[in-house]
Amino acid sequence: MPGFQISNHQVGQKALPSKVVYTYTWEFGLLVETKTTNLYLKDISLPSYSFDTDTIKTGHAQYEFAKGIKWQDVKLTFYDVNGWGPQLEELSKKIWSPDTGIQLANDYMGESHINVYYSDNTPAYIWKLFNSWIKSVSFSKLTYESSGVNNVSVTLAYAWAEIDHLEHGTFTPTS
């Protein structure tokens, strides 16, 4: 990493802070049949939002005000090392099935967590996604060109998210 001290032998570079959050130090908890399950993530987008606005024109002035908030979907990809097809099918049936049609939102919405860690593996913060549900699922294609592990991509919708900044690693991991 340019500009930062990687080992004691580099001169003229700054040492990394002791509590650095690397982009690969997180886990995701997905609600499956009243228990939380951790996934082997390949990548995940963190919660983000934007504000809808309303504009009011008065004379020669124009004012813009916040009208509402829109939380963007979280997208995650994980390695399907545990054969997640049946579990994802069961989660999908909570939303829709040929026998029952679309279910009530209370029947399939839950709470999901994204746990983020410091470089020394102590907990940094948790994103809590409220009223979350699986919006889409896609599996990687099977091919003779690659013998890698199958990946699953999931889009997660949610009503809102909160970040819980932790003091001195005080949360219990979701595993």
151: containing domain: 18-52+60-165
Domain of residue 140, CATH code: 2.30.110.20
Would residue 13 count as lying in a domain? no
Would residue 118 count as lying in a domain? yes
Count of domains in the chain?
Answer: 1
List pLDDT tens digits, range 71-127: 999 999 988 877 888 888 888 888 999 999 999 998 889 888 888 888 777 888 899
Per-residue pLDDT for 40 more than 80? no
Would residue 170 count as lying in a domain? no
List pLDDT tens digits, range 134-151: 999 998 888 888 777 788
* Band of pLDDT at residue 171, cut at 50, 70 and 90: low
Burial category of 15 from C-beta neighbours within 10 Å (exposed 0-12, middle 13-18, buried 19 and up): exposed
Would residue 173 count as lying in a domain? no
Q: Is the pTM of this model over 0.85?
A: no
Nearest to 115 by CA among 27, 23, 22, 19: 27
Would residue 3 count as lying in a domain? no
Q: What is the mean pLDDT of residues 2-28?
A: 59
